[in-house]
Chain A
């Protein structure tokens, strides 16, 4: 018998009999004979015991952030995940449930997502939040989609901050490749260092009456935090929309974009209780103002009542979605990140108002402590004096790749080598410090970098 298939021989025979066939093969008469029943060259089947051994061996070939000291961020962060999060996710009623199209038997999922929508709206200072996109990068691409729909194609200029995560920019470029959208960024044909040093006001001259959307990041890819109020005013004066890509953990401390005029807030929700998991599955946060809700893609859970006048939850505004609107839908998204959104709702609830502020502050203080001591090492300097949250760029005396090889030898994962995306920054590294880095670990990093210079 085959794993997971319950049929016995007599089951099969009885069923074939009812159907009126003699052999299972006869079910496949419509398949062209020349290509029917190919032999697949796959490794032989193994039992559960054997696959556990094999896969565990693969896992142990890796070095992970619980064994090594991690100072790497750049869009995915090593944060503490409280045990309560996974204990809820492992409930079969949540993880083996389907999309809640039948509300009578899906109130668990629906209410959990309604709470997630509310929590993210509160965190970002926005009015409505959807039930998730795939990740931060695709959420940014969907913001472009949405802005294009809001202006019904009458405006087609897109302004991207050069300090947007390179992977977000690349994803947007993939999504817009066959559309008449022109991408504007203040880099004059290449990301020049002096342009990266300027703050958001540098984008204002690029905004005009053909602009549909301006996208900035908060904190930006280099960890810097800016007040975007002036930019928001200028964008709105031109009749355009402002989208802000956020780190939700930073919003435990920082002013939310809803307060300074953002029209759309997107972000990577991984910091909210989601394991690093080598890049996925993560969580695309997406929130906007109520006036734009019908142009927003993705599922939405709404509150209503049932026939007994009891409060209940249901997927709403579904007529916007692909299965009804088809080629006129804003987006094709169907499956989302449901279980991951649930995880973040549990995380946000378990930490709550106080816990989220506490963990944000730990990140802030530890990163500033690290920056303070690293900049003092001869040969090193901070690239920017702008305020920052938990990441900052360190200028190093030697190419950053060599530095990181040295650190790895000593059991430390170094920061992100910026030269791979920004050629003029090849002596620079983006260091992230989180609540998972103890003072001793930070001191060790400082000691190592100081020691390396002396060699």
Chain B
């Protein structure tokens, strides 16, 4: 595929894409000292814009083109109807600060989403405000800390995090002003209970736990763990990234999780968008409800009907701020566009459908695990949940690394699995198929991996030089970091 020029390389002085009408009002005097002298943006026609971005899109792999077995990302199918619904005029063209009487449809949808997420997770209160998973994590840790502060328990500044955790967990804790202690995992992939017990003291804010964990394993001692933490006066934060394995199977709130973030862009099918936007609503148990970030939606009265024949009593929705709220964590109310999509998805599945999601996600993962485990080392000999970790390394061909296997998979038409974490398995390939992949796709994926394992011995250079048929080959990321070219002039002058 040819190199696509940068948009500024199409620039020709005088060209313009979208035009606006001339002012229909008298022109006011411009504040000369504050007006900019020049604006170095491209001058391109609309057809150039369309062709440029269309050609760029054709260089991307996407869920719409193929399978992404990315552990902890839950790359399930993104329903098309969601895209139509989010774009309805009644949603897309509504200003967030309009009077609440004019936005009852939006508030009803948000309220319903708060309710269903609470029901799915086993939580009393939900805030939809956080913009992404990491944002939800920050919200949750701030809630935990605020709870202790209200109880005059300011000695508590410690967060415990398992060594298998995603990097956002410790980063979040630092961001919230807490100190981090890492808890090791045991041989079965569970949290080491003895190590946990030692740290459960009166300086503990809480434990951040992902269940199932990033090894794809259900915490065998989950009830013991949450009990230990609670007994020491601490709280338990659940990272809901792996919720796809729990829908209708277990509710985190029932297992002792006090606060959890959901990832609408993982479990609830909203699209990944090339990196975002996501949405990270937070659910809490009763004792933390007052601390949620606001505003959240609640019923603030009843609608008075103008029609004398109609009953009064339809709920009037509005915004409330919880009495001990940690404060707002962003502007407005959260990613409303994602709420529409997630709500429609949940409604199309219903409780039976959600349980099937978890069942088939876990079935698919175990199917892959069993078919691969003769050829790839799967360190934990247990039934996995929605994902599992395999090792991308063999002692007889030590030069082949997980990275090489990942790149060769691209030649077979698959996006590589996650291979930068969890840190506790070296050369890891974290594989999460999700429930929307068919048996045929899984079989093709297994075949590719088995073939690659063979090639590692017979023709390793195929792996080392992979990928072969992509818009670019392996890139020089050392050069990228050293030269640091993070942008270029956009004004249409010759840029090279």
Contacts and interface: CB of A to CB of B under 8 A. Distances in A.
A171 B275 CA distance: 23
B223 A32 contact: yes
Interface in B456-491: 465, 467, 470-477, 479-481, 483-491
B109 A46 contact: no
A302 B54 CA distance: 21
A66 B86 CA distance: 16
Contacts of A76: 95-97, 332
B90 A62 contact: yes
A384 B326 CA distance: 34
A334 B133 contact: yes
B151 interface: no
Contact of B333 (A27, A129, A279, A352): A279
Contact of A351 (B17, B64, B135): B17
Given A30-B218, A56-B88, A355-B16, A174 B331 contact: no
B93 A64 contact: yes
A311 B338 CA distance: 35
B19 A355 contact: yes
Contacts of B15: 352
A331 B170 CA distance: 10
Interface string A162-185: 000101101101110111000000
Nearest to B90: A59
Interface stretch (B195-203, B281-289, B348-356, B390-398): B348-356
B36 A255 contact: yes
Contact of B70 (A84, A98, A111): A98
Interface stretch (B38-46, B228-236, B447-455): B38-46
A439 B24 CA distance: 6
A342 interface: yes
A97 B328 contact: no
Given A93-B60, A96-B78, A356 B23 contact: no
A188 interface: no
Interface residues of B, number: 206
A119 B348 CA distance: 40
A205 interface: no
B254 A35 contact: yes
A131 B275 contact: yes
B118 to A, nearest CB: 10
Nearest to A133: B131
B255 A35 contact: yes
B50 A84 contact: yes
Interface stretch (A14-22, A190-198, A209-217, A374-382): A14-22
A286 interface: no
Interface stretch (A235-243, A364-372, A447-455): A364-372
A240 B202 CA distance: 39
B424 interface: no
B273 A95 contact: yes
A234 interface: no
Interface in B357-374: 357, 359-360, 362-364, 366-367, 370-371
A137 B486 contact: no
Interface string A43-82: 1111110011011111111111110101010111010101
Interface in B11-39: 11, 15-21, 23-28, 30-31, 33-37, 39
A51 B344 contact: yes
B163 to A, nearest CB: 11
B276 interface: yes
Nearest to A443: B25
Nearest to A3: B348
Interface in A121-176: 121-123, 127-129, 131-132, 134-138, 145, 165, 167-168, 170-171, 173-175
A98 B327 contact: no
B334 interface: yes
Contacts of A305: 475-476, 479
Interface in A370-397: 372, 387
A435 B20 contact: yes
Given A64-B93, A95-B78, A278-B96, A322 B276 contact: no
Given A100-B274, A105-B61, A358 B19 contact: yes
B367 A15 contact: yes
A313 B479 CA distance: 11
Contacts of B102: 62-63, 68, 408, 413
Given A35-B250, A293-B486, A42 B68 contact: no
A337 interface: yes
Contact of A276 (B68, B96, B168): B96
Contacts of A255: 34-37
B138 A351 contact: no
Nearest to A31: B250
A352 B8 CA distance: 10
B59 A115 contact: no
B23 A365 contact: yes
A86 to B, nearest CB: 7
B472 A104 contact: yes
17 contacts: A30-B217, A74-B97, A93-B64, A95-B272, A96-B63, A98-B272, A107-B4, A167-B332, A227-B33, A280-B334, A307-B475, A327-B171, A342-B53, A349-B7, A353-B42, A361-B23, A361-B30
Given A314-B480, A335-B132, 5 more contacts: A3-B349, A75-B331, A88-B50, A135-B332, A335-B275
Would you list the 9 A-B pairs with minimal beta carbon distance, nearest first?
A45-B350, A59-B90, A279-B332, A178-B177, A339-B273, A338-B275, A92-B64, A279-B96, A61-B105
